[in-house]
A and B are shown apart, each in its own frame.
Chain A
């Protein structure tokens, strides 16, 4: 038996496997297919200060070994989340990390302060990386200064652990990582989706209603690993690795490369119960390799 317990920036996780923001809703729709108490935790779909309708369809399309999405942060807003979604989440026997995004640093801070008063939230993940938000998200995450400001504002507004979620769509991700750590981030989650596009040459139209979208799934795993490797060398805070994980082996590759925990995203759409299989697979692979604590693997890549 391998000890899978993981401390991530002060959050005590049962195991290092969480569900990624935007791929598990607010938990309820997945429950028929997946025992959420078998996971380390779940990260909610991004919430914004006010409710959002999201982008015009079509919002998704399959691409080689992955998919594009342009959901556009359809969400019930902070108040709607607390009233309608939180009671269900609060009753779950797993850690809940709430993912937030807003158009300004001050509004991020206001959200964090409100969530600080909600009993039972394990941490806040700040989405400074959405390619589908025209008034925030990647707008902040592409600039070290703006990333730093947003994270510092959130850090000052809450006692909860603050995790900055980074975009891969930048020239120097290590610089962004250092900027959010300077701002007080307790941890980093990476990567959000890669900016992508699909085109129908016959109609000469883009396939997505929003023209561009975010690429996810197995296609992005090598990109995620390379960026994780860079960021792991650049900062000392724990990292949640994600991007294309579909199996226990994938998850173990992220751990070895420097992730303290991992998130499963798009894979859940195809195998709704898959994250629990990944937990079981990590345990059996570690046991077979004689590893007594999963944490022993983290950042052990020899180069």
Chain B
């Protein structure tokens, strides 16, 4: 999208610290040789030694924060299975395999537009982390993004201190009504889009069903929408063709070879109108 993505590196990096930031939600800070990473890009970590075979594949995680001075990045993840469990148990000072940054990045709103679009970031569950880094970057470019965050319940919500750098206007929803709007984050989006915003542009990352609903709401109102997809990945750099999503405009493509796009290399960020939900 706007600018080319920086080249990926394949190195061992050190874990600075891992902390629990919400129930079963962890933040791991990594000391990295290069912090040139664009918002929306992800990394493939190998939380085991090269000699071991468990867990076997790497774990794809979005970059949630970058500290250029300290040369660190943060990943934020929910412990859901073997790979996330292995990662959270790596002791501070120990190493983890790092491959990245990978994939494309969120396109910035057009600064020349009149009026300049208001970014509305819509995140659910494990989809919130890339929006934190993107929101932070938007603000440093003079935008004032609105951040809508959904989670199952209050104890699954990331704390204010992690979201504040990304937005001065954070609105929360929880499925069980224990924090903020009772219901899905799409309810918050509906309200936000009904406000007299000059011209919204939506960026979303979260569970598939949530993003599909966001994409539908945006399509109905002709609001531009970019979605960051999460598919099961093996390589993360385009060779296995395992992480695919179906393209919407298949009929116009010259060959069926292009019917499925790779989330890792052609994405993870897609214009929501260009894929089949």
Contacts and interface: CB of A to CB of B under 8 A. Distances in A.
Interface of A: 22-25, 29-30, 32-33, 45, 51-54, 56-67, 69, 71, 74-77, 80, 217-218, 246, 266, 268-273
B257 A51 contact: yes
B242 A71 contact: yes
Contacts of A53: 256-257, 259-260
A107 B108 CA distance: 49
B234 A269 contact: yes
B55 interface: yes
B241 interface: yes
B225 interface: no
A71 B58 CA distance: 19
A60 B242 contact: yes
Nearest to A50: B256
B257 A52 contact: yes
Interface in B44-62: 46, 50, 53-58
Given A60-B234, A67-B57, 7 more contacts: A22-B240, A29-B237, A32-B237, A59-B244, A76-B255, A217-B56, A269-B57
A268 B55 contact: no
Given A30-B239, A80-B257, A58 B53 contact: no
A75 B257 contact: yes
Contacts of A22: 240
A61 B232 contact: yes
B8 interface: yes
A29 B54 contact: no
B190 to A, nearest CB: 29
B20 interface: no
A65 B82 CA distance: 12
B231 A71 contact: no
A57 B53 contact: no
Contacts of A75: 257
Contact of B50 (A45, A51, A271): A271
A25 B10 contact: no
A134 to B, nearest CB: 15
Nearest to B46: A270
B232 A272 contact: no
B246 to A, nearest CB: 8
Contacts of A71: 240-242
Contacts of A29: 237-239, 265
B238 A25 contact: yes
Contact of B7 (A24, A32, A59, A66): A32
24 contacts: A23-B239, A25-B239, A29-B238, A33-B237, A52-B256, A53-B256, A53-B259, A54-B259, A57-B243, A57-B260, A58-B231, A59-B241, A60-B233, A61-B232, A66-B56, A69-B234, A71-B240, A74-B244, A76-B257, A80-B255, A80-B257, A269-B235, A271-B10, A272-B10
B56 A74 contact: no
A62 B242 contact: no
Contacts of A269: 57-58, 234-236, 239-240
Contacts of B246: 56-57
Interface pairs A-B: 10 shortest CB-CB: A60-B242, A29-B238, A53-B256, A53-B259, A269-B235, A51-B257, A25-B239, A51-B255, A76-B257, A269-B234
B57 A57 contact: no
B188 interface: no
B245 interface: yes
Given A30-B239, A74-B241, A65 B56 contact: yes
A23 B240 CA distance: 6
Nearest to A71: B241
A268 B241 CA distance: 13
B242 to A, nearest CB: 4
A273 B10 contact: yes
Given A65-B53, A273-B10, A51 B256 contact: yes
B99 interface: yes
